[in-house]
Structure 1
Amino acid sequence: MRGPPMPKTLLALLFLPTLAHAGERWPEFRGPTADGHSDEKNLPLHWDEKTNIRWKTKIHGKGWSSPVLWGKQIWMTTAPPDGKELFAVCVDRDSGKIVHDIKVFSIAKPAFCHPFNSYASPTPAVEEGRVYVHFGSAGTACLDTASGKVLWTRQDLPCDHFRGPGSSPILFGDLLILTFDGFDENYLVALNRKDGKTVWKAERNIKPDQSDGDWRKAYSTPAIIKLQDRSLLVSPGAMTSIALDPATGKEIWRVKHGGMNAASRPIFHDGKAIFTTGYNRGKSLVAVRIDGRGEVTQSHVAWTYDRGVPTRPSPLLVGDLLFLISDQGFATCLEAKTG
C-alpha cells in the first residue's frame, strides 16, 4: 500500500512511459524481482508535460494500484470513490489507447474506505494470457488478457479492512497468494491460478495487546526468496511478521516487533529480510536473519532502526546501501549489513 498519490491520470503520464521503455515485463507490485529494480538503461531522469512524455491517458475513477506490464499491455485497477463498481483497465503500451475497460464486480454495499485509500489499491499480477485483479475482500478475479473475459472470481474470502484494502496479490508456481490483514481476520491464502480454488490457508495467529482490532490491521505485500533447498515467503503484519513455505502455507518462523499497519514489501540482503513495521509503538525498520525456525524474536533480529522510518513506502536496496523515504519526504541511506 502506498500513501496518497497523484490522480490516476498522472500515474499514466509519469510512470507508464517509463515502463514502455523498461522491457517487456513488470508483472507485479515492485516489478519482476519484487524490489523496484529494472535492468534497463538510459531511462529518463526528468519529465514534465512537454519533456520525455510519449502519451497521456486519463483513467476514470480513483485507484492507487500500480500499473503492471506484459508485452504491449499495461493493466491497472480503478473504482469510483463510492466503491460500487470495480474495474480492470488495460492500456496499449505504445499508444496509450485503452484496450479493455472491464467492470469486474458490482458491490451493492461497499465497506468503508478511508479517503486516503481507494477501493482499487492492490496492484494486479499478470502473466502470459492472464491478469489477476484483487480488491481485497470485495473480490478477486482472473481475466483473459486478450479478450478481457472473466475466467473465475472469488468473493467469499472474509476480511474487514476497516480502512480499505492494500495488499497486492503475488504469483508462485501454480498459486496466486493473497494477504488479508484486517480489523477481524488475519491470514494468507493461496488459490489455484487455473480455477481460483483454495489450495492452502495460513492464519497469522496474532494476539493484539489491546482489544481494539485496529491494532491487527496491515497492508503489506509478501515477498519470496529462493534458497538453496526451498523457497521462503516473508509476510510483515501488525505486531508480528511470519515466514511461510509458499508451496504449503506451513509456518517456518515468526518475529514479534510491535506496530500496526505495516505496508512495505520486504527486501532481502545477505541472508536477512528487511521490512518496516508500521505505525505507533514499535515503529521501526527490522532486519531478520531468514534461517531461523519457530519464534526468532530473541535469536534472529540482526538490527533495528527507528529514525525517519516510513510507514508506507518500501525500502530500496542498491548494492549494500538501503534507501528510505520517510512519510515527510526525507531521504535516509543506511548500510544494509548493519543498519
Structure 2
Amino acid sequence: MRQFCLLLALASTVHAASVWPQFRGPAGQSTAATEALPAELDTARNLLWQTALPGGSSSPVIVGERAFLTGFADGKLVTLGVNLADGTIAWRHEITPDKLEAYMEKLGSPAASTCTTDGERVVSYFGSYGLSCFDLDGKALWAVKLPVAQSKDGFGTGTSPIIHDGLVYLLRDEVGPGNGLYAFDAKTGAQVWKRSREEFRVSFGSPVVWDGLLVALGDTRAKGYDLKTGEERWLIRGLSAYPCTSPTPGADGNLYIATWSPGGSADEPMPTFDALLKMMDKDGDGRISRAEMAPTPFKDFFDVNDKNKDGYWERSEWEGNLNWMKRGKNAVLAVKPGGRGDITETHVLWNSDKGAPYVASPLYYDGKLFMVRDGGFATLYDATTGKILYEKQRLGVPGDYYVSPTFMDNRIYLAATSGTLLVLDAKATDKPVVLSKLDLGDYLAASPAFAGGKIYIRTKEKLFAFGTK
C-alpha cells in the first residue's frame, strides 16, 4: 500500500497543473477530489455554458483554464482548446488525413480518442493519422505519423494515449502494420520503444499505469509491461474476445478488470446462422441481404460481418465470427500487485462473470466496484471479497452505455448513448438509487471531466459546463 501511495503522489506531482489529465481522469481511476458539486444537473438552474464542437466522442481533458478535445468535420481531424471561463474556442488545429480509417458511423467516430496532457503539453491521437503534440496555447511541437489503423471488423479506433513520467504510451491492437504498444518521448516525439502485439488483434480500451507497470487488455488476455523498456512482466488469461473496457487501478492498490463481449457466456449465447435465417431470410436463398436485415436489431452490424463485401451475410462469415467470440470469457476480477509470469492462478484475488460491462469501464470507489452494461443494468460488488451487493438492477433508462461511470462527491455519474445523463447515490448498496436524470438531446459516448466544482460533459456536437451559478 505504501508503494501505491508513493506512486499516486508522484503522479500528482507530474500532473500538478493537470486537473483531469487523461481518459477517466487522474491515474485512469474515474475519480478525484473536488469541490462540492451541484446536487442536481439542470440546464435551467446550473448550466454555465454550452459550445458547439465538430462531431466526435473523445472525452475532455483539463489543464489550467482550458479543456482539450478532438473532433471530425468536413473530412478534417481537429484538436481543440476551449476556454473554461466561457466555452469560447481558444485554438483549433486541423489535419486532412491521406486516408480515413474504417469505422462504424453510427456508433463510432474518427475522433474517438481522448487527448492526454502532462500539464505543459497536450497530445492528441487519431487512428487515421497518428500523434500530434501542442503546447497549451496550440503551438504545434511535434507529430508522429503512423499507418492508418485497421481495426478488426472495421469498428474503428477506441484507444487513447496516456502520458506518464515523460513518456507517451499508445496501444494499437489491430490487424494492420501499425499493431503494437508504443512509448514516445513526450518532449520530442522520438520513439523510445515498441512492443509487438501480433498475438492481440482486438482491443478498444486504453492502457493504465499500475504497480509500476503499463497494463493493457487484449483479446482474451491482459499483460503488464515494464514502463521503461516494454519488457513483458506478467499475463492474465480468461478475458473476453472483444475487450472494449480499460482496466481500473483501485485506491486499495489492486487492479480491477471487467470485460464482456457477445458469445462469451453460455447464459447469453449468440444466435446460430440457422436462427438468423429463420428470422430474416425472406427470399429463402440461404443468406441474408442488407435489405432483409434492415428492420432488425442487427442492421448496424451488417458491414462488420459481411467479410467479403458482397452485400450478404453467409454462413461461413457468421460462424467464423462466432468461433472468434467463443474463444473468450466474460470476466470481472481483482488482481493484487507483485506478480511475474502467468499470474492467472496466483494473483487473481477473486473472479466472477456477473454484470460484466461491454464498453463502460468498471469503477472502483470506497471499497466497492460498480459497473453498468447495455440495457441500463447496474451491478455492485464488494471489492475486497467479490461479494455481489446487487446485480443487473434496472436504472430506468434503457439503451447502450458507453460512458465510463465516474465517482465524485458521493455520487456516480453515468450516461446512455441516447443522451441521458444519470446521477446515482454512491452510498446506496442494496439497489441503485437515481438522484437525477438529464436529457442532453445528443449522442453521448464521452466520459465527463471534473474540475473546480464544475462538470464538463461532451456530447457528439457540444461541450456543456455545469456548476453553481
The TM-score by the shorter chain falls in which range?
A: 0.7 to 0.9
User: Who is 1:295 aligned against?
Assistant: 342
1:275 maps to 2:257: yes
User: Who is 2:167 aligned against?
Assistant: 175
SS in 2 for 1:33: helix
Structure 2: 5+ residue stretches without partners: 1-16, 265-328, 387-469
Counterparts of 2:80 and 2:246, CA distance in 1: 24
Distance 1:219 1:45, change over 3 A: farther
Counterparts of 1:45 and 1:252, CA distance in 2: 44
The residue type equivalent to 1:254 in the other structure is L
User: How big is each residue's C-alpha offset from its partner over 1:161-193, in whole Å with a ceiling of 9 and x where there is no partner?
Assistant: 231111111111111000001134642100011
Partner residue of 1:100 out of 85, 91, 105:
91
Which of structures 1 and 2 has the bigger CA Rg? Answer: 2
Distance 1:156 1:108, change over 3 A: closer
Cα shift at 1:199? 0.3
Cα shift at 1:138? 2.2
Does the CA-based 8 Å contact 1:206-1:240 persist in structure 2?
A: no
Does the CA-based 8 Å contact 1:234-1:273 persist in structure 2?
A: no
User: How big is each residue's C-alpha offset from its partner over 1:210-247, in whole Å with a ceiling of 9 and x where there is no partner?
Assistant: xxxxxx2111111112x4xxx12211111111001112
Q: How does 1:195-234 map to 2 (within 5 A)?
A: 195-206=188-199, 216-225=201-210, 227=211, 231-234=212-215
Q: How does 1:43-82 map to 2 (within 5 A)?
A: 43-60=37-54, 62-80=55-73
Cα shift at 1:88? 0.5
User: Who is 2:125 aligned against?
Assistant: 134
Partner residue of 2:103 out of 101, 109, 113:
113
The residue type equivalent to 1:102 in the other structure is H
Does the CA-based 8 Å contact 2:242-2:261 persist in structure 1?
A: yes
Q: Which has the higher helix share?
A: 2
Counterparts of 1:290 and 1:220, CA distance in 2: 21
1:86 maps to 2:77: yes
Cα shift at 1:47? 1.7
Counterparts of 1:46 and 1:271, CA distance in 2: 32
SS in 2 for 1:167: coil
Structure with the bigger RCO (C-alpha within 8 Å, sep 6+) is 2
Report the number of matched residues.
Answer: 300
Partner residue of 1:27 out of 9, 21, 30:
21
Does the CA-based 8 Å contact 2:18-2:118 persist in structure 1?
A: no
Does the CA-based 8 Å contact 2:97-2:128 persist in structure 1?
A: no
1:190 maps to 2:180: no
Does the CA-based 8 Å contact 2:259-2:356 persist in structure 1?
A: no
User: Who is 2:35 aligned against?
Assistant: 41
Q: CA RMSD in A?
A: 1.9
SS in 1 for 2:224: strand
Moved more, 318-327 or 274-283: 274-283
Does the CA-based 8 Å contact 1:137-1:155 persist in structure 2?
A: no
Q: TM-score when scaled to structure 2?
A: 0.61
User: How big is each residue's C-alpha offset from its partner over 1:69-102, in whole Å with a ceiling of 9 and x where there is no partner?
Assistant: 101011000003x7x3100111100111111121
Structure 1: 5+ residue stretches without partners: 1-22, 208-215
1:160 maps to 2:150: yes
SS in 2 for 1:254: strand
The residue type equivalent to 2:193 in the other structure is W
Cα shift at 1:205? 4.7
Does the CA-based 8 Å contact 1:263-1:276 persist in structure 2?
A: no
Q: TM-score when scaled to structure 1?
A: 0.83
Counterparts of 1:202 and 1:337, CA distance in 2: 33
The residue type equivalent to 1:333 in the other structure is L
Does the CA-based 8 Å contact 1:69-1:75 persist in structure 2?
A: yes
Sequence identity percentage? 32
The residue type equivalent to 1:71 in the other structure is G
Does the CA-based 8 Å contact 2:244-2:359 persist in structure 1?
A: yes
Does the CA-based 8 Å contact 1:137-1:157 persist in structure 2?
A: yes
Partner residue of 2:370 out of 310, 323, 335:
323
